[in-house]
Structure 1
Amino acid sequence: MELVGRLLGLLALLLAGTALRAVGVLDETRSERLNAFAYYVALPALIFVSTYDQSVASLVTPALFAGHSFVLLATAGVAWAVHRGRGERAERSVAIVQSYHSNVGYLGFPLIAATFDARVTAVAGVVLGVVSLVQVPLTIAVFVSVNEADVPLRREATQLVANPVLLSLLAGLLVGAGDVGVPAGVAGGLDAVGSLALPTALLCVGASLDVDVPSVDAWSTGTVVALKVVFMPVLAWLVFRGLASDAATVTASVVMLGTPTAVSTFVFAGELGGDTEFASLNVFASTVASVATLFSLVALVG
């Protein structure tokens, strides 16, 4: 019952974000400021306090990197086969990308931090870094190849290297590797700021959700949702069980890859020739569907 209450709370915050946007409280300017706080302050703080006191050698393993790379590429390959030759290029590229591009930062990692113990949360921090390093370049490659988009690769590479999520993960791992003590006051302050990551992110996601019912392509959207929140986490479970990974790695991997389509895919679609209306619809549909599927996943691996 506690898990049900937690997930219903997630849904309530999502809907609250949508409602606040509808009444004008979360207008474009306020939404951008709230998003910046979540992305540049709260989430990095949460990642750092979750990793700085953990053993680097036990967190970063070849199997972790190989397993997540395989799941991402395999899901992208299935999506490519399913959507090949269907619809316009702009819609097809979005369908492929949104079938694997997970909301590991805004939803996955904060959800795990609020639900599981410190070990699972620390592994999830590494999973966040690995998935980000793989899925962002993969998403750019898919959009460029399908839409024949012209993209400044140097700019994208710079943004990836300067990603605050990756920088805070690196800082936490380095502090952990060097056995550097963090003052209790600093750690407590960062922990308090990090606790705001999940509610802030959910409000931001809710404020960004939009759907135009008359334009719904039920088959395409249904396929994207099924691949993202059902096929991908099941594949992750099979892969990491097959690799004989420990329970913390299996739990973190399955839940992180079971998150809905990332809101950032809407931004990528706008920049790289994708169908933004279709992208917005899929973000909405996968987020709503994930409330039920995440409950099942957490109950299964928890």
Structure 2
Amino acid sequence: MEVLGRLLALLAVLLVGTALRTTGVLDAGRTAKLNALAYYVALPALIFVSTYDQAIAELLSPALIGGLLFVVFLTAGIAWLIHRNRSSSARSSVAIVQSYHSNLGYLGLPLVAATFDARVTAIASVVLGVVTLTQVPLTIIVLSTFNGTDVAIGDKLLGLAKNPVFVSLIAGLSVGTIGVSIPPAIGSGLNVVGSLALPLALLCVGAALQIEASTLDVGAVSSVVALKIACMPLLAWLVFSALEVGTATFTAAIVMLGTPTAVSTYVFAAELGGDRKFASLNVFVTTVASIGTLFVLITLVG
């Protein structure tokens, strides 16, 4: 019941964000500032405090990397088979990428940190890094190929390498591997800042969600939901069970890959010719539906 209560509280904060946008409290400017606070301050702090006392060899393993890549590409392949012939290339491309592109930073890692111990959270930070480095380039390639848009992939990848998520992950793993001691006061302060990542992120996600009846395609939306929050974690369960990884690795991988579609897919769709309204709808539906599926996953692995 504690897990269910926590997830319902997350849903409440998400809906508060939507309500604040609807009433004009969280306008575009305020939402951008809140998003910057979450992305450039709170989330990097959470990643650093999760990894600075862990050696990289204790967190990163061939089984973890191989399993994550296999699940991401297998889910993407299934999504391509199902969605490749939608009514338009703009809709097909969005349906494909939103079936595998997970909300690891704004929901996955903060949720793991609030629910599990430090070991699981540290591995979840590594999962965030590995999967993001995979799914972002894949999403850019899928959208640009389907929609015939020109994109400088090299510039996108360079920007990805410079983002605060990877900088804080590399910094934390480096400190942990070298064995540098972090003063308790600094560690405590970063913990407080990191604890703000989840509520701030949920408010931002809620403020970004929009629904228009004209975009409702029950078949396409249902397929995206089924692939993202049911098929993908199920594949992860089967793959990591076969790999016989440790309990902490198994837990982190399953919960992180069971998260809903990332809000960033809406941004990518807007930039690369995808169906933006359809993308927004899928983000909303997968996020709300994932409250139930994440409860089941956390209960099973908890």
TM superposition score category, shorter chain reference: over 0.9
* Match runs of 1:193-212 below 5 Å: 193-212=193-212
1:121 alignment counterpart: 121
Q: Measure, in 1, the Cα distance between the counterparts of 2:184 and 2:213.
A: 51
1:215 offset after TM fit, Å?
A: 2.8
SS of residue matched to 2:26: coil
Query: Structure 1: which amino acid aligns with 2:209?
Result: L
In 2, Cα distance between the equivalents of 1:32 and 1:154? 26
Unpaired runs of 5+ residues, structure 1, are none
- Alignment of 1:162 onto 2:165: no
| Structure 2 counterpart of 1:250 | 250
Instruction: State the shift of 1:4 in Å.
Output: 1.1
Q: Deviations over 1:108-130 (max 9, x none)?
A: 00000000001100110100000
Question: Which residue type is aligned with residue 231 of structure 2?
Answer: F
CA deviation profile, 1:171-229 (whole Å, cap 9, x unmatched) = 00000000000011111111110000000000000011111124300000000000000
CA distance in 1, matches of 2:86, 2:56: 45
Q: Map 1:76-225; keep pairs closer than 5 Å.
A: 76-225=76-225
- Partner of residue 51, structure 1: 51
Gaps spanning 5+ residues in structure 2: where? none
Distance in 1 of aligned mates of 2:145 and 2:154: 17
- Taking the aligned partners of 2:79 and 2:279, their CA distance within structure 1 comes to 15
Tell me what 1:300 maps to.
300
The 10-residue stretch of structure 1 (211-220 or 15-24) with the greater mean CA deviation from structure 2? 211-220
Inter-partner Cα distance in structure 2 for 1:152 and 1:50:
33
Larger deviation, residues 212-221 vs 258-267: 212-221
Q: CA deviation at 1:159?
A: 1.0
Contact 2:210 2:284 in 1 (8 A): yes
Q: How does 1:266-281 map to 2 (within 5 A)?
A: 266-281=266-281
Q: CA deviation at 1:155?
A: 2.0
1:32 aligns with 2:27: no
| Percent identity for Structure 1 against Structure 2 | 63
* Distance across 2 between alignment mates of 1:154 and 1:100: 22
What TM-score comes out, normalization by structure 1 length? 0.99
Deviations 1:50-101 (A, max 9, x none): 0000121110111111110110000000000001222100000000000000
Q: Give the structure 2 partner of residue 283 of structure 1.
A: 283
CA distance in 2, matches of 1:288, 1:222: 13
How far apart in 1 are the matches of 2:103 and 2:215? 24
Q: Distance between the aligned counterparts of 1:44 and 1:52, measured in 2?
A: 12
TM-score normalised to structure 2 length: 0.99
How far the C-alpha of 1:163 sits from its partner, in A, is 1.4
Give the aligned CA root-mean-square deviation in angstroms. Answer: 0.7
1:154 CA displacement: 2.9
Offset of residue 301 of structure 1: 0.7
Separation (CA, whole Å) in 2 of partners of 1:212 and 1:126: 36
- Once residues 128 and 74 of structure 1 are traced to their aligned partners in structure 2, the CA distance between those partners, rounded to angstroms, is 18
